[in-house]
Amino acid sequence: MNTSSIITKLKETKLFQKLSGLHPFRKLAETERFQKLSQTAAGKFLTDYPLMVSVIAASVVLGIIFAVQKYTPAPEVTDTPPAVTTTLPAQTTTTAPLHAEIPSSEATTEKTMTETRPPQAEFERVEDSYFNDALFIGNSRTVGLSLFGSMPEQTTFYATVGMNIYDLLDSTAQIPPEEGPEMSFSSLMNGQKFGKIYIMLGINDLGTGTSESFAEYYKSVLDQIHQMQPEAIIYIQSIINVDAARDAQGDSINNANINEKNALLAELANDDYIHYLNVNEVLVDENGALNADYTSDGIHLGGGSLSIWEDYLRSHAVVKES
């Protein structure tokens, strides 16, 4: 049975004949008005070159749409994130304006950073069960941790490829990542109480705004999360550096940019309920780039290297005295 015999068979079916009777162009072509129209020069052009004319028309329309899209300014990033409906009583935060706390970015070399940071909470080594009531928030790097890592079954992951700090509060994600049902961030936060919340976001924000605006927004997101989960210990994980090859590509995804943002993130820790974890400590080489042995694409940790990250978290936990 070849194609042409299938086609002839198809043509013999009643359905086909009925459908072709309904053929809009055929009916249209039979009307007197159309006949007349097609005899004019423009009409003849249209009937002779239908594809070209319609492609040109479509191009003009698409061109306008694309241009409008391109030159419409992106919605401005507001300083306060949209309010998330929460069943918990709103808390008043008494943090001084952020600008005052941040030293100028030139001064935030790694040395001064550690010096100006408030005294660190005592980190302890913990068992895996510590993570049973933990929530991990992140992007594809955290998706990797969920897919290939060895965190306990009970650990919750809220992570999607491409997640960034600005979208987080309004986002939805599959839980568990890439396999479970979609759930919105606010319903997750309202539906379940977490003991610890680990956040690693920022690699997708490297091209947006300044480091200061990033940290400021990050801070407001932390405030919201704290409001929704007042009892949770919040961990800011440093944005993991990229490897030397990725660093050299010359775009905004580079280690200088990441370091600048991490320095500001470290400042957000209050060592009461927000702690900063410099995950990079165990992941970078002597030049401060992500160790190339741990990654294939220069950005994500390979499945075999996730244990280094996990070990760091296990040995850098804060245990609340109850």
Q: Which is nearer to another protein, 121 or 239 (CB)?
A: 239
170 is a site residue for another protein (CB under 8 A): no
Rounded Cα–Cα distance for residues 116 and 109 (Å): 11
Query: Interface residues for another protein in 29-88 (CB under 8 A)?
Result: 48-52, 54-55, 58-59, 62-63, 66, 69-70
- Quick one: angle between helices 50-71 and 41-48, nearest 10? 90
Q: CB of residue 174 vs another protein: minimum separation in angstroms?
A: 10
User: Could you say which DSSP state residue 243 is in?
Assistant: B
Rounded Cα–Cα distance for residues 137 and 156 (Å): 9
Q: Which amino acid is at 301?
A: L
Query: Binder to another protein among 12, 14, 18, 25 (CB under 8 A)?
Result: 25
Could you please report the per-residue DSSP string of 264-304?
A: HHHHT--SSSEEEE-GGGGTB-TTSSBPGGGBSSSSSBPGG
Query: Binder to another protein among 135, 168, 203, 232 (CB under 8 A)?
Result: 203
In degrees to the nearest 10, what's the CA dihedral of 13, 19, 22, 28? -100
Binding mask 95-134 for another protein (x = CB under 8 A): ----------------------------------------
Q: Which is nearer to another protein, 69 or 129 (CB)?
A: 69
304 is a site residue for another protein (CB under 8 A): yes
Rounded Cα–Cα distance for residues 309 and 148 (Å): 12
Using DSSP, state whether 172 is helix, strand or coil: strand
Nearest to 145 by CA among 5, 283, 320: 283
295 is a site residue for another protein (CB under 8 A): yes
210 is a site residue for another protein (CB under 8 A): no
237 is a site residue for another protein (CB under 8 A): no
Span from 91-99, 161-169, 188-196, 267-275 in contact with another protein (CB under 8 A): 161-169
Number of residues in contact with another protein, rule: CB under 8 A?
48
Q: CB of residue 126 vs another protein: minimum separation in angstroms?
A: 21
Q: CB of residue 113 vs another protein: minimum separation in angstroms?
A: 25
Query: Binder to another protein among 113, 121, 140, 265 (CB under 8 A)?
Result: 140
- CA neighbours closer than 13 Å in the CB half-sphere of residue 218: 35
Q: CB of residue 239 vs another protein: minimum separation in angstroms?
A: 11
Q: CB of residue 281 vs another protein: minimum separation in angstroms?
A: 21
CB 161 within 8 Å of CB 140: yes
Q: CB of residue 301 vs another protein: minimum separation in angstroms?
A: 7
Q: 320 to each of 196, 268, 303, how far by Cα in Å? A: 11, 20, 31
Q: CB of residue 150 vs another protein: minimum separation in angstroms?
A: 7
264 is a site residue for another protein (CB under 8 A): no
Rounded Cα–Cα distance for residues 233 and 91 (Å): 16
Using DSSP, state whether 136 is helix, strand or coil: strand
Under the rule (CB under 8 A), what is the footprint of another protein? 3-4, 7, 25, 48-52, 54-55, 58-59, 62-63, 66, 69-70, 139-141, 144, 147-150, 161-164, 178-179, 203-204, 206-208, 295-297, 299-306
